[in-house]
Structures are given as structure tokens and as C-alpha cells.
Structure 1
Amino acid sequence: MTGAAGMSGHMWMPSAPPTVARLLTVHLQPVPILPTLAVLLLVLYLWGVVLLQRRGDRWPAARTLGWLAGIATLLAVTATGLDGYGMELFSVHMVQHMVIGMLTPILLTLGAPVTLLLRALPAGRGDRGGPRRLLLLVLHSKAAAVITHPVVTLALFLGSLYGLYFTPLFDDLMRTMWGHNLMLVHFLAVGMMYFWGVVGIDPTPRRGHGMSMLSRPVLRIFELAVTVPFHAFFGVVVMMATSLIVQFYRVPIPGWGINPLADQAVGGGIAWGFTELPTLIILGVLFVQWQSDEKHLTRRLDRKADLDGDAELRAYNDRLAALSGNGATHQ
């Protein structure tokens, strides 16, 4: 038996075809792993913000809103009927995958959690500063640099599509509640690793180990663009397939009138079309960062000019005058 009915450990199974109301209904789970993780991440983040505020430090509201939005999207696909129907319909599962693997990580990385953690943890040479020193040690380690290298994150990000759905791995994981949740955690973790480098708000190991050039906005746009054709190709292949790619959904749900192959085509269309939303968000973020960098550079040059009386401009004018004088002498 396939679907939630044949999956051990699931308390709730959808008994009627999906509707908007049913998809958004709270989904009770015997072991709510992802919802618990979401709530824990929310509490820890807000705790860090409160610590900064008590010290009189300012934390941008936009970053907090980004984190809250990321947590909301995670709960929307793991604590509602979407999670239950994702066990019965490939199309609904694909919504879960796209949100958890792409949209949620982008919003969470916009919250700059690493920066918040570095600012919230106490500094110093004693035991109190130990956790912060450990975090910095991890960020500056060669292992972290390897794991966050664009080649590695791209391979993991795209492997979550091709390596999972075009091998028996998907069917094996979906047979148990723990395997299903492990898959969802994998989507989130890989998405966070990939977009951590692409968004570029938090400090990353790329800025050390001779990889600082990889943090430039143009290269991050290229890194993002590389995944687009692979995602589109995956969606088209799934959408146009004449046989089921995964076997877990092969048995139609009685009375629903939903053909598994047709539902698979819908899932492929979701994977194909969903790529545009994260791409637009990232491009918007990178554009804002580029504008901000230009403004900071202009302000820094203006301050320097005020301090030294615009010495660079005077020196440039003196050189022009000297060259002009030399030319007149030779004539």
C-alpha cells in the first residue's frame, strides 16, 4: 500500500480530495519534527533579538521580518493539511519540496541568523566567550570552506532533485515517518547552505581561504543562474513523463478521481514554475545590496575628501597642470 495509509507512524490521513480549506487545516502529527524545529528556531532568534535590545544594540526590523516569514512558510507546509496530503499526492509533496528547499531558506538567510548569533553571544577570553569563539572557529575552518564552496552547494542543491526522484531513494525514504522527515530536513539544510552563500548577508567561510571573490554580487548572480536550467529541465522531464517516476504514489486514491500520472505532471509543472519566485527575490536582494554598497562607497569617499581637503583631486589637478606646463615648454 502506498501513501499515508501505508506509512507507519502517521496519525492523520486525508479522507477527502484536497481543497484550499483542507490544505490549510492544522495537521496533527504523532511526532511533529519540522513544526517543533520551526518553533525552536523562532524562539531562539527572538531571544537573540531581545538580548541585543537589552544591551541597547539595534537590530534591523527587516531582518526579523525575514526570519518570521521563513518560519511561517515552514509551518505552512509542515503543520497543515499540506503535510498530510503530501503523503497522498505527488503534486502536494512537490509544493512542500519547493517551499522548504527554496523559499524558506531564502527568507531565513535574509534574517542574518549567523550575524545575530555572533552579536548575541558574549565575547571575551573566558568561559563566557567560549561559544562565540567556537562559532568563529567553525566559520573560519577549512571544512566549512569546502562544504560552502559553490561547487559543493550546487551539487547538493541539484542532487536533491535528480538524485532523489530518479533513484529508488525517494520511495525508500517515504516508507516511514522518520525517512519522510529526514527528507524534509535535508531539503531545508541544503537550501540553507546554498542560499547562505548566494544571499551573502551573513559572514560565510567564502570570505576567507582565498575565496572572497566568490562573494561578489555578479558571481552570486551567476551562481543562481546556473541552477535555473537544471530546475526547468527537471520540471519538464517530470511533467512530460509517460510513466511514473516515483512508485510511492502509484495507487490512485479511491473516490478522488485523481490519476497518479496526471498528478505527477502537475507536480512537474510546479517544480518548473516555482523557480521564478526565488530567482526574483534573490535578484531583488542583490540589487539592493549593490545599491547599498555604492552608497557606502560614495559616503566613504566624501568623508575622506572632507578630512583631507580633497587631496586626491588637488593632486590630480596638479598633475594635469604639470603635464600642461611641460607641453608648453616643449613647444
Structure 2
Amino acid sequence: MDGMSGMHHHGGLGPFSLDAVLHWSPDWPFLLGSLLALGLYGAGVARLLRRGDRWPVGRTVAWTLGVLTIVAVTCSGLNDYGMVLFSAHMIQHMVLSMLVPILLLLGAPITLALRSLRPAGKGRPRGPRELLVALLHSRYVKVVSHPAFTIPLFIASLYGLYFTPLFDGLMQSRIGHIAMMVHFLAAGLLFFWPIMGVDPGPNRPGHVMRIIELFMGMPFHAFFGVAVMMATTPLVTTFTAAGAPPGTDLMTDQKLAGGITWAFGEIPTAVVLVALVFQWAKSSQRQAVRQDRAAERDGDAELNAYNAYLAALEQRGNRPAQTG
């Protein structure tokens, strides 16, 4: 493990193995961002609990897992391998764009923010809560969270990146690498936000639409994985035999990268689908209860109207007797 300590300069990397990947190697922007995300969420939950409000434990667990997953792929040996191996980079890409967003969205951060931020008083300048509400209602957010934008974005993150020189350009610098990781996360969050439907947003499609949106994005993912697996030439020139760990066959690694992409697309799809079916069942159950209640209310209303009618008749019947 001694050669692993200075792993940011390539060359110190041993063969790609679980042991090497589990090595702690913090990428500071991601580590600080993750700590901030955990801290803010924790503060929000604490404020709700102090106020005597409840916040589902499951949401806190989901958010924490999501943030820890970011740390796991950006602050470990995997991140160092991600700079020199296509397959390692692809694991990072898939986790950040397909797994982390689902976990974070299950944490319902927008709902938490809206509940825990105090409204600014009358005559006061707009506070964070008002800005968040304004942002959620803005045309900009309407556009970027609309499937006509998120699905092409999701697809472009695959085809536009790896089948063009863009990826090789970004991989030349640390900033490019970080920007790419942030983009994967953002594209995933935008794509799954309306589909998960946990947090409020400008686009609230119904359950059927959400399933259709989910299935519109996924085939492209599978096709991309298969295309990478089938490719007979290296797709990206960043990963060279010189930079890779000793004994790496670049084409085998590329095939592995394609396989990872193809297999990974199925996991979140299944998870989201299960979540959607549950939500659907719950909402139709709620609707049934609501309809029962409404029926009861209507029944009561009819009864009350009938009683009122009888009372009116009675009064009318009494009237002539008083005048005569």
C-alpha cells in the first residue's frame, strides 16, 4: 500500500481491486460539499423536531445514504482509478447519475427546506424560503425539470460526452473532472425529480406519465452500454496503456465499462418502479378514503337538506293557523 499514498500522480496505482478502491483519498470539493449537505439537512430536521413536528426517519436515512454514496465514489481510491481507467470512471458516472439522485430525492430535501425555513415577516426583504419558492415557480426551473429537457440531457451526458472529443478535453484537468462529476449528479437529479414525485416541483406528472418518462430515458442507456461493449476501437483517448495500472488491457476495460453502464441502468429503473407502484397504490387508497368521506358528507348534506325542508313545511303549515 506504500505506493498508494501519493496516488494523485498516476503511476502509483496497483491493479484495480476492491482493496485498492477502498483506500481513503479525499477529493476536497466533494468532501466539503457532502459535509455541508449533511449538516444543513440535519439542522433542518433538528429545527422541525424542536418545533414538535415529525419528519420521517426513512427520509433522513435515504439522504444520509445518498451523501455517503457521493463520498464513497469521490473520496476513495475509486476516484483515483476514475482518472486512469474507463471502467472505474463509468462506475463513478453511473452511481452519481443513477443511484445518488434517487437516494437524495427520497430524502425530500425541498420539502424539508420549505418546512424548516422560517418565512420572512411582513415588510421584510425576502428570505431564503421566499427565494426557494420563487425559484421553484420560475420559468427556468420549469424548463430544466421538464422531461423534454431532462431526457435529452440525460442522453447527451452519455452519447455527447463519450462519442465526442469532449470527454478527453475535460479529463485533462482536475476542474474538468470535478465539473463532469457535478454534471452527472445534477443531470440525474433533474431527471428523477419529477419521476420520483417526492418533492414538490413545477412539473407534477401523474403516475402513468412518470413511468413513461422513466422508460423513455432507459433504453438509451442500455443502447449506450451495448455500443461501448461492441466497439472495436478505444472510444476515449484519455485512458492510455501508460496511465493505466500495469497489466490493463484497454479494450477489455472498455468492454467492462459498457457492461457496467448496461447493467446499472436496470437497477435504478427497478427501484424507482417499485417506489412508483407503492406511491400509486397509496394515492389511490387515499383517494378511495376521500371519496368515502365525500359520500358520507354528501349523505349528511342530503339528510340535512331534507330535515330543513320538513321544518320549512311545518312552519308553513303553522302559519295559517296563527293568522286565522
TM-score range, shorter-chain basis? 0.7 to 0.9
Distance across 2 between alignment mates of 1:174 and 1:130: 39
Checking the alignment, whether the CA contact within 8 Å between 1:234 and 1:271 is kept in structure 2 is yes
Asked if structure 1 preserves the Cα contact closer than 8 Å seen for 2:87 and 2:253, the reply is yes
Matched, 1:226 2:237: no
Q: Which has the larger radius of gyration?
A: 2
CA RMSD of aligned residues (A): 2.0
Distance 1:61 1:100 in 2: 23
1:248 Cα offset (Å): 0.4
Name the CA shift for 1:241/1:50 in 2 (closer, same or farther; >3 Å).
same
Q: What is residue 144 of structure 2 aligned with on the other side?
A: 147
User: Residues 191 and 272 of structure 1: is their aligned pair in 2 closer, same or farther, counting only changes over 3 Å?
Assistant: same
Corresponding letter in the other structure for 1:246? V
Deviation at 1:44, TM superposition (A): 0.7
SS at match of 2:203: helix
1:273 aligns with 2:263: yes
Q: Which residue of 2 aligns with 1:328?
A: none
Q: Which deviates more, 264-273 or 136-145?
A: 136-145
Question: Would the alpha carbon gap of residues 175 and 206 (structure 1) be closer, same or farther in structure 2, given more than 3 Å must change?
Answer: same
Alpha-carbon deviation of 1:205? 1.1
Contact 1:12–1:27 (8 Å) recurs in 2: no
Correspondence for 1:56 = 52
Residue 64 and residue 254 in structure 1: after superposition, are their counterparts in 2 closer, same or farther (change >3 A)?
Answer: closer
The partner residue of 1:172 within 164, 169, 172 is 169
Q: CA deviation at 1:149?
A: 1.1
**Counterparts of 1:1-331 in structure 2 under 5 Å?**
10=8, 14-29=12-27, 32-123=28-119, 124-127=121-124, 130-207=127-204, 215-253=205-243, 256-309=246-299
Per-residue deviation, residues 195-230 of structure 1 (Å, max 9, x unmatched): 1111111111114xxxxxxx1011010001011211
Asked whether the equivalents of residues 14 and 85 of structure 1 are also in contact (C-alpha less than 8 Å), the reply is no
- C-alpha deviation, 1:151, in angstroms: 0.7
Judge conservation of contact 2:13–2:245 (CA < 8 Å) in 1: no
| Secondary structure of 1:303 counterpart | helix
1:66-100 deviation per Cα after TM superposition (whole angstroms, max 9, x unaligned): 11111121111011111111112110110000000
**Deviation at residue 186 of structure 1 after TM alignment:** 0.6
State the one-letter code of the partner of 2:216.
V
For residues 40 and 62 of structure 1, the distance between their equivalents in structure 2, rounded to whole angstroms, comes to 20
> TM-score, structure 1 length as denominator?
0.85
TM-score, normalised with respect to structure 2: 0.86
Cα gap change, 1:13 to 1:39, in 2 (>3 Å)? farther
Sort the Cα spacing of 1:165 and 1:177 in 2 relative to 1 into closer, same or farther, 3 A.
same
2:73, 2:79 within 8 Å by CA — same for their partners in 1? yes
Against the structure 1 CA distance between its residues 121 and 28, is the aligned structure 2 distance closer, same or farther, given a 3 Å change threshold?
A: closer
Structure 2 alignment gaps of length 5 or more: 1-6, 303-324
Per the alignment, residue 323 of structure 1 pairs with none
Cα deviation digits, residues 213-254 of structure 1 (max 9, x gap): xx1011010001011211111001111111000000122557
CA distance in 2, matches of 1:129, 1:272: 46
Q: What is the alpha-carbon distance in structure 1 between the residues aligned to residue 124 and residue 42 of structure 2? A: 24
Alpha-carbon distance, 1:129 to partner: 5.6
Residue 302 of structure 1: CA displacement? 2.5
Identity of aligned residues (%): 48
Partner-residue secondary structure (3-state), 1:275: helix
SS at match of 1:242: coil
User: How many pairs are equivalent?
Assistant: 296
Q: Which runs of no fewer than 5 residues in structure 1 stay unpaired?
A: 1-8, 208-214, 313-331
